[in-house]
Amino acid sequence: MVSVDQALCSGCGLCMELCPEVFGWGAEGRATVLKQESETCNLEEISDQCPTEAINV
């Protein structure tokens, strides 16, 4: 299950840029998960790129 730890997300916007299908802007300028899967994005790779390690896949 994909999730964004709201306590860790800095709101940098990288995940939304890399995969707008799955990540969107949520409350207080942080990322939120819009859907649990994607055929076009590598979610594990995006998780690895998150600067605050806020994305769990």
User: Measured from the CB of residue 29, what is the shortest distance to ligand SF4 in angstroms?
Assistant: 9
Assigned token pair, 33:
């998960």
For residue 35, how far is the Cα from the chain centroid? Answer: 10
Give the nearer residue to ligand SF4 in terms of CB position, either 28 or 39.
28
| Token pair belonging to 50 | 């998150």
Binding site for ligand SF4 (CB under 6 A): 4, 9-15, 31, 50-52, 54-55
Asked whether 46 and 18 are in contact (CB, 8 A), the reply is yes
DSSP structural state of residue 40: S
Q: How far is the CB of 26 from ligand SF4 (least distance, A)?
A: 9
Q: Based on CB atoms, which residue is closest to ligand SF4, 3 or 37?
A: 3
